[in-house]
Structure 1
Amino acid sequence: MPSPTMVASFRMLSSQRPFLRHIRHTPHWPGKWPTVSHARQLTTGSRELEGDSPQPERPKRRQKLRKIRTLDPTKLSPRDYVDFSMLRQPNVELVAQSSDLNDASNALLGRLSATINARGIRDGKFPPNTAGFLYYHTPPYSPPLAGEVRFRITPSPDTASLSEGNDLLTEYGIPWKIPLLHMTDKKGYTGLQTLLLRDGLVTPQLLDIATSISKSVKTLSRIVGGA
């Protein structure tokens, strides 16, 4: 004969069967634990409902404009002061300076820019406090073809501080530069060539010679490299 304890347990389970059947057949509960894929569908669906409203796009960060009007060290002004600190390839916009409204170089320069490469600088980017002026320089006792653009680091935009500044150096301890021969070999420096021509720092004949030499060196390099 069943003990009173067993009878009481049977009665308790029997009384809970309707409740268990309700749980098992409820549409919100499949009667077994959901699989991983089912759980993903449930969570994804809830996220989609929450994300129905479009999220505003973050505005793209625009690069700060850097403008130069001359590379002639005798004509530099505070407006030519640029900061390249911690940048790899800063872009410089070339601004027309001629007061003659009919000067064709004004319209040309208005559409030109130059990308300045931190070639020869450690880690491939300009170091902190690289602020100053780009200027054209021909080393003493050197031919015109040895001309180059350098960067003069100064303590302030005041051009009077040029004498207090110093040229940016590469990791090898020599002045950072963009040689004239390199400028004529790269399309990205066309604007710098135009600026040099307008300021009278170079002549068309000199640029032609530099271009010819650059092409010859490139051709020779290909021949030697293919030999």
Structure 2
Amino acid sequence: MIGARFANYAHHTRPAIFCRRIVTPSDRNFGKVGGRHPQRILSTLNPLKLQSKDYLDISGHLETTVAFPHSKSGRGLLSYYSTAPRGTPFQHQPFPSNSRGFLYYSRDPQAAALEGSIRLRLTSDNTPSSFLDGRDLRLPWGSTWQLILPQIATQMSHRRFSDQLLHEKLVTQEQLSQCTKLFGHRCRWVPSLTLFRLSQEFPLHFEGRPVLTVVGGSLHQLELPWIFGHPPRAWSGSGIARFEPSTSPEDAGKRIVHMRIIKITEPVVCADEKRSRLVPRPVEGQLVMVNLRGVPKLWAYDIEKNTVLGAAFRALWDASHLPTQPSWHMRPR
């Protein structure tokens, strides 16, 4: 089921940016399917300044609108949780049960220039102290539910969020302007398929070719080759992956990238017995292997190649703060 849902995102043949018009309800805020919910006023998006009144319950809501004391214009829309495959009775899925916690702005200390996102930290109660013991809301395929900074900066439906982030000095006007310059005002994104640096995790469907959007000084399309075999595919299933720089002594001084399967989110199943003898099985926690002339080897890509893929990887590499210790890719996350 997870793989079926993720397939709607994973099999795109273009970058993870969609430019089709979305018809949304008015700013009066539609919440649960078939019902309306009053607009919520939150005091902050800074996790260090949360108050009990910022506790938010959007369980079962399809859309929810929030505001802030300094809201000026536009909307603060939290739209549908995820999108089911076309052909299902309800394409847009409401937020799952127990979607209760604190909305906040997250930015990794090693974040790239335009990296950052609004997330929902699920907590046991409405006390701000429960924030540290909580966990971020996840999508069905394991990625974090979030509104990334380019979304917030370029869509009127998120204008209140950008106003609040500026007011709290969590982002700068320069960051918002750069997002607008790169993306314009007409597009929406699949946040889980948008990367800013190497170590970010992304969903991976073993029967498809991931197409990622890379955000750097410009936009890049990162369309990987058929790592798990050309159709017919050898394996089915889904996982969470990330790219890592090679730490092999033989690659010293080179910029070589590997891929690691962080987590298996849907069991790996043999999809073609003959092909599975040639294509190494994806294994949780391990680097991806490929078959080269009958010999299993690590999948690797030299990012200095003068290719579209090489340019995308260089943007990710240049935006990453890479430690020098060889055990970097084994650090717990």
Q: TM-score, normalised by structure 2?
A: 0.41
**Is the counterpart of residue 70 in structure 1 residue 32 in structure 2?**
no
Secondary structure of the equivalent of 1:195?
Answer: helix
**For structure 1, which segment, 137-146 or 119-128, has the greater mean C-alpha deviation from structure 2 after superposition?**
119-128
Structure 2 equivalent of residue 86 of structure 1: 60
**Is the counterpart of residue 160 in structure 1 residue 129 in structure 2?**
yes
1:115 pairs, out of 77, 87, 94, with 77
**Is the counterpart of residue 138 in structure 1 residue 100 in structure 2?**
no
Structure 1 Cα separation of the partners of residues 162 and 119 of structure 2: 14
**For structure 1, which segment, 140-149 or 199-208, has the greater mean C-alpha deviation from structure 2 after superposition?**
140-149
Secondary structure of the equivalent of 2:119?
Answer: strand
Task: State the Cα distance separating 1:119 from its structure 2 match.
Answer: 4.0
**Residues 68, 80 of structure 1: 8 Å contact kept:** yes
Superposed CA RMSD in Å reads: 2.6
**Is the counterpart of residue 197 in structure 1 residue 159 in structure 2?**
no
**For structure 1, which segment, 208-217 or 198-207, has the greater mean C-alpha deviation from structure 2 after superposition?**
208-217
**Residues 67, 82 of structure 1: 8 Å contact kept:** no
Task: State the Cα distance separating 1:139 from its structure 2 match.
Answer: 2.7
- The verdict on how the C-alpha distance between 1:85 and 1:216 changes in structure 2, with shifts beyond 3 A counting, is closer
**Residues 39, 64 of structure 2: 8 Å contact kept:** no
Residue identity matched to 2:76:
A
Task: State the Cα distance separating 1:215 from its structure 2 match.
Answer: 2.0
* Deviation string, structure 1 residues 124-168 (Cα, Å, up to 9, x no partner): 110111111110011342213111101101111100000111100
Structure 2 equivalent of residue 95 of structure 1: 69
Residue identity matched to 2:55:
Y
Matches within 5 A, 1:17-96: 63-96=37-70
Structure 2 Cα separation of the partners of residues 79 and 217 of structure 1: 34
* Deviation string, structure 1 residues 175-217 (Cα, Å, up to 9, x no partner): 1000000112211111100000000001111111111111299
Structure 2 Cα separation of the partners of residues 195 and 150 of structure 1: 15
Secondary structure of the equivalent of 1:164?
Answer: coil
- The verdict on how the C-alpha distance between 1:144 and 1:135 changes in structure 2, with shifts beyond 3 A counting, is farther
**Residues 73, 135 of structure 1: 8 Å contact kept:** yes
Structure 2 Cα separation of the partners of residues 217 and 138 of structure 1: 25
* Deviation string, structure 1 residues 3-41 (Cα, Å, up to 9, x no partner): xxxxxxxxxxxxxxxxxxxxxxxxxxxxxxxxxxxxxxx
**Residues 71, 195 of structure 1: 8 Å contact kept:** yes
**Is the counterpart of residue 213 in structure 1 residue 182 in structure 2?**
yes
What 5-or-longer segments of structure 1 have no aligned partner? 1-60, 97-108, 222-227
**For structure 1, which segment, 182-191 or 135-144, has the greater mean C-alpha deviation from structure 2 after superposition?**
135-144
**Is the counterpart of residue 181 in structure 1 residue 155 in structure 2?**
no
- The verdict on how the C-alpha distance between 1:121 and 1:128 changes in structure 2, with shifts beyond 3 A counting, is farther
Secondary structure of the equivalent of 1:149?
Answer: strand
Residue identity matched to 2:147:
I
Structure 2 Cα separation of the partners of residues 185 and 111 of structure 1: 14
2:139 pairs, out of 152, 160, 170, with 170
* Deviation string, structure 1 residues 91-125 (Cα, Å, up to 9, x no partner): 112223xxxxxxxxxxxx16654110124366611
Give % identity.
Answer: 27
Task: Tell me which protein shows more strand as a share of its residues.
Answer: 2
Structure 2 Cα separation of the partners of residues 131 and 169 of structure 1: 12
Residue identity matched to 1:195:
Q
Q: TM-score, normalised by structure 1?
A: 0.59
**Residues 74, 158 of structure 2: 8 Å contact kept:** no
Secondary structure of the equivalent of 2:182?
Answer: helix
Residue identity matched to 1:175:
T
